[in-house]
Amino acid sequence: MTILVTGATGSVGRLVVDHLLAAGATDVRALTNKPEKAALPMEVDVVKGYIGRPETLPPALEGVDRMYLAPLTETVHEVLALARTAGVQHVVDLAGPEGNWWHAIEVAVEESGVAWTHLDAGEFMENSLIWADQIRTTGQVRDAYPDAANAPIAMDDIAAVAAVALLEDGHVGKAYELTGPESITRADMVRCIGVALGRDIPYVELTREQAVEQLSKAMGEHADWYLEGKAALVAHPQQAVATVAQVTGRPAKTFAQWAVKHVDAFRVA
């Protein structure tokens, strides 16, 4: 069984490759735009291409049975048409439920007629890296809504679920809501980073306007939308679900565990 991982050098796709190999998969094909810089394991069949340029995909899709589809809305219909023509039997997509800007991927996958499994992931724990520069340079976090609470998930756990859905039967037609194992406030996330670093990190609360100005440098027009979501989580915290444990047989990583593993990103070099 040949499995194609698109976006194989991306943040989640690369981890999907790792989990497939760890589970014993022997015919993994990785799609990457720069094979010469991919640094993928020798046992992986590396093919040059990018889902944003569908014309590059036919060689990568040849003989593929199952495919992990990275989230890119602009060309998803063309990619899926090519996948169906090539005989792909099952697509596992990273997307989002109705109301999410990645939901168009789910719609396109279902319309393609190919069997599917949707991975509806919540906010990534890795999004907290937006605080890394502040912590390294000022020793504190300046941000809004410290009491906003959600259940962020580690990208590695998303990849682990994707690998199981690609390798095992019984996942077709399932839309898996994916969260971390706990609902945690932003203030407590900063506290966990501080514990990992071995020092206290103050959370300096900004007004909405101050936070928009600060985040606009990195997020542009999406800063206000992002903060609107955080404001909603103050009154209505996101609740955790146990899908990762149910699918993989092991609990999802807590934010504290993630912070320990990624502590170097927040530490002064």
Domain that holds residue 98: 3-121
Q: Verify that 20 and 105 share a domain, yes or no.
A: yes
Q: Verify that 141 and 70 share a domain, yes or no.
A: no
Q: Verify that 220 and 193 share a domain, yes or no.
A: yes
Q: Verify that 32 and 116 share a domain, yes or no.
A: yes
* Positions in the chain whose pLDDT score sits under 70: none
Q: Verify that 220 and 101 share a domain, yes or no.
A: no
Q: Verify that 117 and 29 share a domain, yes or no.
A: yes
Element counts in the chain: helices (H) and strands (E): 11, 11
What is d(CA 60, CA 3) in angstroms, rounded to the nearest whole number?
10
The predicted structure's pLDDT at residue 225: 85
Calculate helix-pair angle for 76-86, 103-112, nearest 10 degrees.
30
Domains: count for the chain: 2
CATH assignment at residue 219: 3.90.25.10
The predicted structure's pLDDT at residue 164: 98
CA angle 174, 124, 238 (to 5 degrees): 75
What one-character DSSP code corresponds to residue 251? P
What is d(CA 77, CA 62) in angstroms, rounded to the nearest whole number?
18
Q: Verify that 139 and 188 share a domain, yes or no.
A: yes
The secondary structure of 52-120 as a DSSP string is TBGGG-HHHHTT--EEEE---STTHHHHHHHHHHHT--EEEEEE--TTSTTHHHHHHHHHHTSEEEEEE
In a domain, 83, yes or no: yes
CA 227 to chain centre: 19
CATH assignment at residue 114: 3.40.50.720
Q: Where does a domain end: 73, 103, 121?
A: 121
Q: Verify that 234 and 212 share a domain, yes or no.
A: yes
The predicted structure's pLDDT at residue 170: 96
- Quick one: tokens of 103? 């939901």
Q: Verify that 133 and 262 share a domain, yes or no.
A: yes
Q: Verify that 87 and 220 share a domain, yes or no.
A: no
Q: How many residues does the chain have?
A: 269
Q: Where does a domain end: 105, 121, 137?
A: 121
Q: Verify that 81 and 188 share a domain, yes or no.
A: no
In a domain, 248, yes or no: no
Q: Verify that 222 and 260 share a domain, yes or no.
A: yes
- Report helix, strand or coil for 250: coil
What global pTM score does this model have? 0.95
Amino acid at 261: K
What is d(CA 98, CA 225) in angstroms, rounded to the nearest whole number?
17
| Residues 19 and 163: beta-carbon distance below 8 Å | yes
- Report helix, strand or coil for 184: strand
Calculate helix-pair angle for 208-219, 222-235, nearest 10 degrees.
130
The predicted structure's pLDDT at residue 49: 96
